[in-house]
């Protein structure tokens, strides 16, 4: 295996270990024109596969009586674990967090894999409305046995290069791999701040 192969492997591991970016204002439709008090709500989530960590919940609020977008509400997104341990959360959804300012967006933290109830509450002078939907949260992509196997394969490749007389390449790759492992471990230890 050449040093180029090791470099490509390290870049590959880094790309896989990086979290999927949550794109605001779009994604997977969860609710479409769902009645909620004096409102109708359209709710989307992203990324497409929701994994442990941060996810985007975007909400369009329509006035039910006119069908027009309503921009002056206070929107809150709540998270509640279903049938597994985990802390519920409460997250404000605002236009400031949205790329498209017609949406209210919230970056929610989902600290555990499993089924979650996502609630959306809307308040304004028109009144209050609420709705919810359930969502399956998948474990992190590189978790458990898959990540350990990938680490083992990379370490064995580095050892083979070291035996073949490429100590500088091995040292650089080992430092990069150790940094990726440390980052993954620290990320797994983070919990969302209490609310």
| pLDDT on residue 188 | 55
Across the range 53-65, mean pLDDT stands at 95
* Residue 19, pLDDT above cutoff 60: no
For 147-181, write each residue's pLDDT tens digit.
666 777 777 776 776 667 767 766 777 777 777 77
- Beginning with the edge strand found earlier in the chain, give each strand of the sheet holding 39-46 in spatial order: 28-36, 39-46, 53-63, 104-110
Cis bond upstream, residue 47 (ω within 30): yes
- Contacts by 155-164, CB closer than 8 A, 24 or more apart: 157/1, 157/5, 157/6, 157/9, 158/6, 160/1, 161/1, 161/3, 161/6
How many Cβ atoms from other residues are within 10 Å of residue 37's Cβ?
17
User: How confident is residue 5, by pLDDT bands cut at 50, 70 and 90?
Assistant: low
Which residues of the chain form CATH 2.60.40.10?
28-137
| pLDDT on residue 9 | 52
| pLDDT on residue 194 | 40
| pLDDT on residue 44 | 95
| pLDDT on residue 117 | 97
Provide CATH code, domain 28-137.
2.60.40.10
| pLDDT on residue 186 | 64
| pLDDT on residue 85 | 82
Give me the chain's average pLDDT, please: 80
Across the range 103-116, mean pLDDT stands at 94
Give the residue, 20 or 169, on which the prediction is more confident: 169
Name the 3-class secondary structure at 29. Answer: strand
């Amino acid at each position: 295996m050449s040093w180029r192969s090791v470099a490509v492997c390290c870049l590959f591991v880094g790309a896989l270990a990086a979290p999927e970016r949550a794109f605001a204002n779009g994604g997977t439709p969860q609710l479409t024109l769902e009645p909620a008090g004096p409102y109708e709500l359209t709710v989307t989530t992203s990324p497409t596969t929701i994994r442990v960590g941060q996810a985007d919940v975007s909400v369009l609020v329509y006035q039910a009586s006119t069908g027009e977008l309503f921009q002056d509400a206070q929107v809150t997104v709540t998270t509640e674990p279903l049938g597994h341990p985990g802390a519920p959360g409460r997250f404000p959804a605002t236009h400031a967090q949205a790329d498209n300012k017609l949406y209210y967006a919230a970056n929610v933290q989902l600290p555990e894999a499993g089924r979650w109830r996502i609630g959306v509450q809307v308040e304004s002078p028109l009144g209050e409305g609420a709705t919810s939907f359930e969502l399956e949260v998948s474990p992190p992509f590189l978790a458990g046995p898959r990540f350990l196997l990938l680490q083992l394969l990379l370490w064995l490749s580095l050892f083979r290069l070291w035996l073949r007389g490429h100590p500088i390449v091995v040292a650089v790759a080992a430092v990069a791999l150790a940094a990726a492992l440390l980052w993954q471990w620290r990320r797994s230890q983070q919990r969302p701040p209490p609310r």
